[in-house]
Protein backbone atom coordinates (compact mmCIF):
# COMPACT_ATOMS: atom_id res chain seq x y z
CA UNK A 1 0.00 0.00 0.00
CA UNK A 2 1.35 3.40 -0.95
CA UNK A 3 2.07 5.80 1.87
CA UNK A 4 0.04 9.02 2.00
CA UNK A 5 1.75 12.05 0.51
CA UNK A 6 3.70 14.09 3.00
CA UNK A 7 4.21 11.19 5.43
CA UNK A 8 7.97 11.80 5.89
CA UNK A 9 7.20 15.41 6.88
CA UNK A 10 4.57 14.17 9.31
CA UNK A 11 7.13 11.83 10.86
CA UNK A 12 9.63 14.67 11.22
CA UNK A 13 6.97 16.89 12.76
CA UNK A 14 6.07 14.17 15.28
CA UNK A 15 9.73 13.74 16.23
CA UNK A 16 10.12 17.49 16.80
CA UNK A 17 6.95 17.63 18.93
CA UNK A 18 8.02 14.73 21.13
CA UNK A 19 11.44 16.25 21.68
CA UNK A 20 9.96 19.63 22.55
CA UNK A 21 7.44 18.22 25.02
CA UNK A 22 9.93 15.98 26.80
CA UNK A 23 12.99 18.24 26.81
CA UNK A 24 12.36 19.49 30.34
CA UNK A 25 11.38 16.08 31.72
CA UNK A 26 14.49 14.48 30.28
CA UNK A 27 16.64 16.77 32.41
CA UNK A 28 15.08 15.71 35.68
CA UNK A 29 16.52 12.99 37.84
CA UNK A 30 14.21 10.45 39.52
CA UNK A 31 12.08 11.34 42.48
CA UNK A 32 13.40 9.98 45.77
CA UNK A 33 11.54 9.66 49.06
CA UNK A 34 13.50 10.80 52.10
CA UNK A 35 11.59 8.25 54.20
CA UNK A 36 8.89 5.69 53.47
CA UNK A 37 6.24 8.14 54.70
CA UNK A 38 7.72 11.37 53.35
CA UNK A 39 6.41 13.24 50.36
CA UNK A 40 8.28 12.41 47.19
CA UNK A 41 10.47 15.31 46.11
CA UNK A 42 12.27 15.94 42.81
CA UNK A 43 15.94 15.02 42.74
CA UNK A 44 18.41 17.90 42.37
CA UNK A 45 19.46 18.52 38.78
CA UNK A 46 22.92 17.01 39.22
CA UNK A 47 23.54 17.42 35.52
CA UNK A 48 24.10 21.13 36.10
CA UNK A 49 27.61 20.33 37.31
CA UNK A 50 28.26 17.46 34.91
CA UNK A 51 30.07 18.28 31.65
CA UNK A 52 28.04 16.95 28.73
CA UNK A 53 28.14 17.29 24.97
CA UNK A 54 25.82 20.17 24.05
CA UNK A 55 22.73 19.41 22.05
CA UNK A 56 22.64 15.68 22.69
CA UNK A 57 19.24 14.05 23.32
CA UNK A 58 20.89 11.51 25.65
CA UNK A 59 22.30 12.44 29.03
CA UNK A 60 25.02 10.77 31.10
CA UNK A 61 24.10 8.40 33.89
CA UNK A 62 25.65 9.34 37.25
CA UNK A 63 27.88 6.88 39.05
CA UNK A 64 25.49 6.81 42.01
CA UNK A 65 22.49 8.45 43.63
CA UNK A 66 22.22 9.70 47.23
CA UNK A 67 20.99 6.63 49.09
CA UNK A 68 21.24 5.36 52.66
CA UNK A 69 23.76 2.48 52.78
CA UNK A 70 22.04 0.75 55.72
CA UNK A 71 18.69 0.81 53.94
CA UNK A 72 20.29 -0.32 50.67
CA UNK A 73 21.79 -3.30 52.52
CA UNK A 74 18.38 -4.21 53.93
CA UNK A 75 16.80 -3.81 50.52
CA UNK A 76 19.40 -6.09 48.97
CA UNK A 77 18.57 -8.79 51.52
CA UNK A 78 14.85 -8.49 50.87
CA UNK A 79 15.26 -8.32 47.09
CA UNK A 80 16.83 -11.77 47.31
CA UNK A 81 14.52 -13.10 50.05
CA UNK A 82 11.90 -15.66 48.92
CA UNK A 83 9.91 -15.05 52.11
CA UNK A 84 8.19 -12.25 50.23
CA UNK A 85 6.30 -14.92 48.29
CA UNK A 86 3.41 -16.99 49.63
CA UNK A 87 5.29 -20.31 49.67
CA UNK A 88 8.87 -19.01 50.09
CA UNK A 89 9.71 -20.06 46.54
CA UNK A 90 10.29 -16.75 44.74
CA UNK A 91 12.34 -13.62 45.40
CA UNK A 92 12.38 -10.36 43.42
CA UNK A 93 15.71 -11.50 42.00
CA UNK A 94 14.00 -14.51 40.45
CA UNK A 95 12.48 -12.28 37.76
CA UNK A 96 15.10 -9.53 37.92
CA UNK A 97 18.47 -11.25 37.73
CA UNK A 98 21.30 -8.73 37.78
CA UNK A 99 23.43 -11.16 35.75
CA UNK A 100 20.78 -11.10 33.00
CA UNK A 101 20.58 -7.35 32.68
CA UNK A 102 18.05 -7.04 35.51
CA UNK A 103 15.46 -9.25 33.77
CA UNK A 104 15.05 -13.03 33.48
CA UNK A 105 15.46 -13.81 29.78
CA UNK A 106 11.99 -15.37 29.59
CA UNK A 107 9.06 -14.31 27.40
CA UNK A 108 6.99 -14.13 30.59
CA UNK A 109 8.08 -14.84 34.14
CA UNK A 110 6.92 -17.76 36.26
CA UNK A 111 5.48 -17.11 39.69
CA UNK A 112 4.31 -19.20 42.63
CA UNK A 113 3.05 -22.66 41.61
CA UNK A 114 4.68 -22.18 38.22
CA UNK A 115 1.99 -19.76 37.04
CA UNK A 116 2.92 -17.70 33.99
CA UNK A 117 2.75 -13.92 33.99
CA UNK A 118 1.08 -11.96 31.24
CA UNK A 119 3.88 -9.65 30.11
CA UNK A 120 7.64 -9.60 29.59
CA UNK A 121 9.51 -8.58 32.75
CA UNK A 122 11.27 -5.21 32.35
CA UNK A 123 14.76 -4.63 33.69
CA UNK A 124 15.16 -3.35 37.23
CA UNK A 125 18.53 -1.75 36.40
CA UNK A 126 18.39 2.05 36.33
CA UNK A 127 14.66 1.83 37.09
CA UNK A 128 15.06 4.83 39.38
CA UNK A 129 15.17 6.98 36.24
CA UNK A 130 11.83 5.80 34.86
CA UNK A 131 9.11 8.41 35.26
CA UNK A 132 6.65 5.56 35.89
CA UNK A 133 7.04 1.85 36.65
CA UNK A 134 5.61 -1.15 34.77
CA UNK A 135 4.92 -1.21 31.04
CA UNK A 136 1.57 0.49 31.57
CA UNK A 137 2.93 3.04 34.03
CA UNK A 138 0.48 2.14 36.79
CA UNK A 139 3.03 2.77 39.57
CA UNK A 140 4.38 6.29 40.05
CA UNK A 141 7.32 5.29 42.29
CA UNK A 142 9.57 2.35 42.99
CA UNK A 143 7.84 1.97 46.35
CA UNK A 144 4.49 1.57 44.59
CA UNK A 145 6.03 -0.92 42.19
CA UNK A 146 7.05 -3.21 45.07
CA UNK A 147 3.37 -3.66 45.92
CA UNK A 148 2.54 -5.22 42.57
CA UNK A 149 4.54 -8.49 42.56
CA UNK A 150 3.86 -9.21 46.25
CA UNK A 151 0.09 -9.21 45.72
CA UNK A 152 -0.09 -10.48 42.14
CA UNK A 153 -1.50 -14.05 42.14
CA UNK A 154 0.66 -14.83 39.10
CA UNK A 155 3.85 -13.69 40.86
CA UNK A 156 4.44 -13.86 44.63
CA UNK A 157 0.75 -14.40 45.47
CA UNK A 158 1.13 -13.09 49.03
CA UNK A 159 -0.04 -10.17 51.16
CA UNK A 160 1.69 -7.99 53.70
CA UNK A 161 0.17 -9.77 56.71
CA UNK A 162 1.72 -13.07 55.55
CA UNK A 163 5.05 -11.50 54.60
CA UNK A 164 5.45 -9.45 57.78
CA UNK A 165 4.61 -12.40 59.99
CA UNK A 166 7.54 -14.31 58.48
CA UNK A 167 9.93 -11.38 58.54
CA UNK A 168 9.02 -10.37 62.11
CA UNK A 169 10.03 -13.85 63.26
CA UNK A 170 13.61 -13.03 62.17
CA UNK A 171 15.13 -11.39 65.25
CA UNK A 172 18.22 -10.09 63.47
CA UNK A 173 16.17 -8.58 60.64
CA UNK A 174 13.86 -6.88 63.16
CA UNK A 175 16.87 -5.41 64.92
CA UNK A 176 18.39 -4.07 61.70
CA UNK A 177 15.12 -2.46 60.66
CA UNK A 178 14.76 -0.88 64.09
CA UNK A 179 18.21 0.66 63.65
CA UNK A 180 17.54 1.92 60.12
CA UNK A 181 13.91 3.04 60.50
CA UNK A 182 12.20 4.65 63.53
CA UNK A 183 9.01 2.77 62.57
CA UNK A 184 10.87 -0.55 62.54
CA UNK A 185 9.82 -3.42 60.31
CA UNK A 186 6.58 -2.52 58.53
CA UNK A 187 5.13 -2.90 55.06
CA UNK A 188 6.09 0.71 54.32
CA UNK A 189 9.70 0.26 55.45
CA UNK A 190 10.04 -3.01 53.52
CA UNK A 191 8.83 -1.24 50.38
CA UNK A 192 11.18 1.65 50.98
CA UNK A 193 14.22 -0.56 51.64
CA UNK A 194 13.70 -2.53 48.42
CA UNK A 195 13.19 0.71 46.48
CA UNK A 196 16.32 2.19 48.05
CA UNK A 197 18.29 -0.85 46.90
CA UNK A 198 16.88 -0.53 43.40
CA UNK A 199 17.96 3.13 43.33
CA UNK A 200 21.52 1.88 43.81
CA UNK A 201 21.37 -0.34 40.70
CA UNK A 202 22.96 2.06 38.24
CA UNK A 203 25.07 0.90 35.30
CA UNK A 204 27.28 3.68 33.87
CA UNK A 205 28.68 2.62 30.51
CA UNK A 206 31.32 3.56 27.99
CA UNK A 207 28.73 5.71 26.27
CA UNK A 208 28.43 7.84 29.42
CA UNK A 209 32.19 8.38 29.36
CA UNK A 210 31.85 9.53 25.74
CA UNK A 211 29.01 11.89 26.67
CA UNK A 212 31.29 13.42 29.26
CA UNK A 213 33.92 14.14 26.64
CA UNK A 214 36.07 10.99 26.32
CA UNK A 215 36.33 10.56 22.54
CA UNK A 216 38.20 7.27 22.93
CA UNK A 217 35.36 5.61 24.85
CA UNK A 218 33.49 4.62 21.65
CA UNK A 219 34.66 3.00 18.44
CA UNK A 220 34.07 4.61 15.05
CA UNK A 221 31.31 2.06 14.37
CA UNK A 222 29.57 2.86 17.67
CA UNK A 223 29.72 6.58 16.93
CA UNK A 224 28.32 5.94 13.45
CA UNK A 225 25.52 3.87 14.98
CA UNK A 226 24.69 6.65 17.40
CA UNK A 227 24.51 9.17 14.54
CA UNK A 228 22.07 6.88 12.73
CA UNK A 229 20.10 6.38 15.96
CA UNK A 230 19.53 10.13 16.01
CA UNK A 231 19.16 10.63 12.25
CA UNK A 232 16.40 8.04 11.89
CA UNK A 233 14.51 9.48 14.88
CA UNK A 234 15.03 6.74 17.48
CA UNK A 235 16.04 9.39 20.00
CA UNK A 236 12.66 11.11 19.71
CA UNK A 237 11.35 8.54 22.21
CA UNK A 238 14.52 6.97 23.56
CA UNK A 239 16.21 10.00 25.09
CA UNK A 240 17.22 11.51 28.41
CA UNK A 241 19.38 9.91 31.06
CA UNK A 242 17.76 6.47 30.74
CA UNK A 243 17.64 6.38 26.93
CA UNK A 244 13.88 6.03 27.38
CA UNK A 245 11.61 5.56 30.36
CA UNK A 246 10.42 9.18 30.47
CA UNK A 247 7.26 9.20 28.35
CA UNK A 248 4.39 7.11 27.03
CA UNK A 249 4.11 6.24 23.33
CA UNK A 250 1.80 4.22 21.13
CA UNK A 251 3.26 0.95 19.84
CA UNK A 252 2.57 1.38 16.16
CA UNK A 253 2.80 5.09 15.41
CA UNK A 254 3.33 4.66 11.66
CA UNK A 255 1.84 1.19 11.11
CA UNK A 256 -0.58 -1.05 13.01
CA UNK A 257 1.60 -3.54 14.91
CA UNK A 258 -1.36 -5.27 16.54
CA UNK A 259 -3.23 -5.87 13.27
CA UNK A 260 -0.51 -8.39 12.43
CA UNK A 261 -0.89 -10.39 15.65
CA UNK A 262 -2.86 -13.63 15.64
CA UNK A 263 -4.52 -12.89 18.97
CA UNK A 264 -4.52 -9.95 21.34
CA UNK A 265 -3.98 -10.27 25.09
CA UNK A 266 -4.90 -7.98 27.96
CA UNK A 267 -1.25 -6.89 28.11
CA UNK A 268 -1.51 -5.64 24.50
CA UNK A 269 -3.97 -2.99 25.66
CA UNK A 270 -1.16 -1.20 27.49
CA UNK A 271 -2.09 1.94 29.39
CA UNK A 272 -5.76 1.46 28.51
CA UNK A 273 -5.84 -1.10 31.34
CA UNK A 274 -5.01 1.72 33.76
CA UNK A 275 -7.03 4.65 32.40
CA UNK A 276 -9.87 3.01 30.46
CA UNK A 277 -9.49 5.67 27.76
CA UNK A 278 -9.68 4.60 24.12
CA UNK A 279 -6.76 6.85 23.21
CA UNK A 280 -4.56 4.81 25.56
CA UNK A 281 -5.03 1.49 23.75
CA UNK A 282 -1.63 0.04 22.82
CA UNK A 283 0.17 2.89 24.62
CA UNK A 284 3.15 1.89 26.74
CA UNK A 285 5.92 3.46 28.74
CA UNK A 286 8.90 3.74 26.42
CA UNK A 287 11.44 1.26 27.83
CA UNK A 288 15.01 2.13 28.70
CA UNK A 289 17.61 0.95 26.20
CA UNK A 290 20.38 0.74 28.77
CA UNK A 291 21.73 -2.84 28.83
CA UNK A 292 19.25 -3.69 26.07
CA UNK A 293 21.73 -6.11 24.50
CA UNK A 294 21.38 -8.22 27.68
CA UNK A 295 17.61 -8.19 28.11
CA UNK A 296 16.18 -10.26 25.24
CA UNK A 297 13.43 -11.08 24.41
CA UNK A 298 12.15 -7.66 23.41
CA UNK A 299 8.92 -5.65 23.66
CA UNK A 300 6.09 -6.19 26.13
CA UNK A 301 5.07 -9.34 24.26
CA UNK A 302 8.59 -10.77 23.85
CA UNK A 303 8.02 -10.76 20.08
CA UNK A 304 11.67 -11.33 19.20
CA UNK A 305 14.94 -12.36 20.83
CA UNK A 306 17.00 -10.68 18.11
CA UNK A 307 18.10 -7.13 18.82
CA UNK A 308 18.65 -6.61 15.10
CA UNK A 309 15.05 -7.60 14.39
CA UNK A 310 13.81 -5.43 17.25
CA UNK A 311 15.54 -2.40 15.77
CA UNK A 312 14.13 -3.17 12.32
CA UNK A 313 10.62 -3.54 13.74
CA UNK A 314 10.93 -0.22 15.53
CA UNK A 315 11.93 1.40 12.26
CA UNK A 316 8.89 -0.04 10.52
CA UNK A 317 6.21 0.54 13.15
CA UNK A 318 7.44 3.64 14.98
CA UNK A 319 9.33 5.54 12.28
CA UNK A 320 7.68 4.37 9.09
CA UNK A 321 10.92 3.31 7.40
CA UNK A 322 12.54 0.06 6.36
CA UNK A 323 15.99 0.49 7.86
CA UNK A 324 18.85 -0.69 5.65
CA UNK A 325 20.61 -3.76 7.03
CA UNK A 326 23.86 -1.81 7.42
CA UNK A 327 22.08 0.86 9.47
CA UNK A 328 20.52 -1.80 11.72
CA UNK A 329 23.93 -3.36 12.32
CA UNK A 330 25.50 -0.04 13.25
CA UNK A 331 22.63 0.97 15.52
CA UNK A 332 22.90 -2.37 17.34
CA UNK A 333 26.63 -1.80 17.68
CA UNK A 334 25.88 1.55 19.32
CA UNK A 335 23.28 -0.01 21.63
CA UNK A 336 25.86 -2.48 22.89
CA UNK A 337 27.89 0.47 24.18
CA UNK A 338 25.05 1.10 26.65
CA UNK A 339 25.93 -2.06 28.60
CA UNK A 340 27.25 -1.31 32.06
CA UNK A 341 27.89 -3.04 35.38
CA UNK A 342 26.28 -2.34 38.73
CA UNK A 343 28.89 -0.70 40.94
CA UNK A 344 29.26 -1.69 44.60
Catalytically active residues are: 155
Backbone angles phi, psi at 184, to 5 degrees: 75, -150
Q: How many residues in total does the chain contain? A: 344
Backbone angles phi, psi at 27, to 5 degrees: -90, -5
Is the Cβ–Cβ distance between 259 and 249 less than 8 Å?
no
Dihedral of the alpha carbons of 342, 199, 124, 178, in degrees to the nearest 10: 110
Using the CB atoms, write b or e for 279-297: b if 16+ within 10 Å: ebbbbbbbbbbbbbbbbbb
Is the Cβ–Cβ distance between 128 and 188 less than 8 Å?
no
Could you give the angle at which helices 160-168 and 187-199 cross, rounded to 10 degrees? 90
Residue 63 neighbours by CB under 8 Å, 6+ apart: 202, 204, 343
Amino acid sequence: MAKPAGLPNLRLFAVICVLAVTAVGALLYPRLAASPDAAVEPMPALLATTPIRPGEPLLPLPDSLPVDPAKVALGRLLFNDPRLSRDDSLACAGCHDLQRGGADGMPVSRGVDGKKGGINAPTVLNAAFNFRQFWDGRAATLEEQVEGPVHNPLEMAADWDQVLAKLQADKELRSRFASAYPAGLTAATVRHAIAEYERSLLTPSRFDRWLRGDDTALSDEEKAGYRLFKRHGCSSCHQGVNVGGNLFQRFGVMDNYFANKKALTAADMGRFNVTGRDEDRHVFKVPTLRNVALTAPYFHDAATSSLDEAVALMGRYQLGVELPARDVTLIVTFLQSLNGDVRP
